[in-house]
Amino acid sequence: MSTISEKIFSRAAGTEEVKANEFVIANVDYAMAHDGTSILAVRSFREMEIKNVWNPDRIVIPFDHLTPANTDTTAALQHDTREWIKQQNIKNFFDVGEGICHQLLPEKGFTLPGKLVVGADSHTCTYGAFGAFGTGVGATDMSEIFASGKLWFRVPESIKITVRGKLPRHVFAKDLTLKIIGTLGVAGATYKAAEFYGDTIEDLTISGRMTLCNMAIEMGAKAGIVPPDKKTFDYLEGRSVEEYEPLYADEDASYTKQYNFYADELEPQIACPHNVDNVHNISDIPATRIDQAFIGTCTNGRLEDLEAAASILGGEKVAVRTIVVPASREVLLEAVRKGVIETLLEAGVTVGPPGCGPCLGGHMGVIGKDEVCISTANRNFKGRMGTGGSIYLASPATAAASAITGEITNPADI
Ligand SMILES: CC(C)[C@H](C(=O)O)[C@@H](O)C(=O)O
Ligand code: SF4
């Protein structure tokens, strides 16, 4: 009678049947740090005066947050980290332009069902879309993993979220995700593992499941997990770096809470400033002008997202500056091959290099103090994209529709 998380931790800790709330020391299957956090993890690793990392092949480092470097300070720090990566013989290093960590680890086959993947980034929970236990830690914890390959955990309790029905036209995984977070609240799943079930979840594409699991942390969850199925195995075919064994919850697994959602009547959702759980039906939002639209990030920067935007923007012109940042080189290449980028460029969109782009306000689309941005990202905290400004979170289709009119707009109205 175990949940998926209990099973993964039993395997990773090499103990029989660990239960929620037990403390374990787990072997980490893959460890990830990006340019922002590897710098700090390396600093603390050096302070430990340990010579070599535990296993260079199990460490993955994408440079995505401030790439290409925005200042000479950033450039110098990145240079130092690159040197350390070379010296440690870490081959899984993805430099400028390869893409966002949470897109690259799945594409490169590191996020496998039943595995424990820990990242020095809060949205590491994205990997639950593949039936892995993916979770974020701070840079100091990451340096411990670099050194030993292990980390202690309190095995989380689990909640069960079941979604039934068919998402209407113009309503996407992002809208469902916002609905769930709006209902549970930013602390509604604190330190819980959220397992997702139901025909709506089964119908979601891999990309949609990644959007859903990506935002699990926004309701406080330690992980968000979709049980792996044929779609998962098909995606991983030809990508997975090693064998894996999918793990599923037992029928009588114990959940501290169960929630039910219905997709049939859902309309596009908007998370209004300045909290991710300030979620409303788009029809309840008063006329709101925008200055910028941003489509990208580890939440919504995949091919399917760019296609959804292009299907709205095709033959139209944007009324406000509109920035599209593909989540990875693979996404960008596919979007070029399929003519999606051409459609976006013709509509007046600015396309940036794969990476986080302006998501956390570092560069390439920071907003002014009184400006309003509609964004497909996962956070709308005050100051997230600049010292001031307001951020409305939405799906790529809603962001694209709003870019055309210059105010928050339901894609059904275009
Ligand atoms: C910079 C990094 C530590 C941070 C995170 O952990 O999430 C960033 O990716 C974010 O989205 O705010
Ligand atoms: S795209 Fe945004 S949310 Fe995702 S890892 Fe980068 S900064 Fe964080």
DSSP letters of 223-269?
A: EEE----HHHHHHHTTT-SS--------TT---SEEEEEE-TT---E
Contact in structure between 245 and 8 (CB atoms under 8 Å): no
- Sketch out the chain's domains with CATH numbers: 4-260 (3.30.499.10), 275-413 (3.30.499.10)
Indicate the pairing of strand 193-197 with strand 223-225. parallel
**pLDDT the model gives residue 204:** 98
**pLDDT the model gives residue 302:** 99
Q: Is there an atom of ligand 1 within 6 Å of 384 CB?
A: no
Find, among 365, 370, 376, the residue nearest to 402 by Cα: 376
Identify any residues that bridge with 101 across adjacent strands, giving them in sequence order: none
Spans in the chain with pLDDT lower than 70: none
Q: Which residues of 91-108 are buried (b: 16+ CB within 10 A; e: fewer)?
A: ebbbebebbbbbbbbbbb
**φ/ψ of residue 8, rounded to 5:** -65, -40
**pLDDT the model gives residue 133:** 99
Ligand 2 binding pocket, CB closer than 6 Å:
65, 100, 102, 121, 123, 297-298, 356, 359-360, 377-378
**φ/ψ of residue 68, rounded to 5:** -55, 150
Ligand 1, atom 7, residue with closest C-alpha: 122
Closest atom, ligand 2, to C-alpha of 64: 6
Q: Which residues are annotated as a binding site?
A: 298, 356, 359
**pLDDT the model gives residue 105:** 98
**pLDDT the model gives residue 38:** 96
Q: How far is the CA of 138 from the centre of ligand 1 (A)?
A: 10
Place of tokens 């709330």: 21
pLDDT tens track for 312-359: 999 999 999 999 999 999 999 999 999 999 999 999 999 999 999 999
pLDDT tens track for 370-401: 999 999 999 999 999 999 999 999 999 999 99
Q: Is there an atom of ligand 1 within 6 Å of 119 CB?
A: no
Burial grade of 14 (CB within 10 A; 0-12, 13-18, 19 or more): exposed
Determine the Cα–Cα distance for residues 285 and 269; give it in Å rounded to an integer.
Answer: 10
**pLDDT the model gives residue 8:** 98
Q: Give alpha helix (H) positions in 49-189.
A: 72-87, 101-107, 139-148, 173-184
Q: How far is the CA of 187 from the centre of ligand 2 (A)?
A: 20
**pLDDT the model gives residue 362:** 95
6 membership: H or E segment, kind and range = helix 4-13
Q: How far is the CA of 262 from the centre of ligand 2 (A)?
A: 28
Q: Is there an atom of ligand 1 within 6 Å of 195 CB?
A: no
- Ligand with smallest separation from the Cα of 119: 1
**pLDDT the model gives residue 140:** 97
**pLDDT the model gives residue 403:** 98
Residue 30, classed as helix, strand or coil, is strand
- Ligand with smallest separation from the Cα of 217: 1
HEC sequence for 294-307: EEEHHHHCCHHHHH
**pLDDT the model gives residue 165:** 98
> Angle at which helices 303-313 and 329-337 pack, to 10 degrees?
40
Cα dist from 387 to 121, 167, 320, whole Å: 22, 36, 20
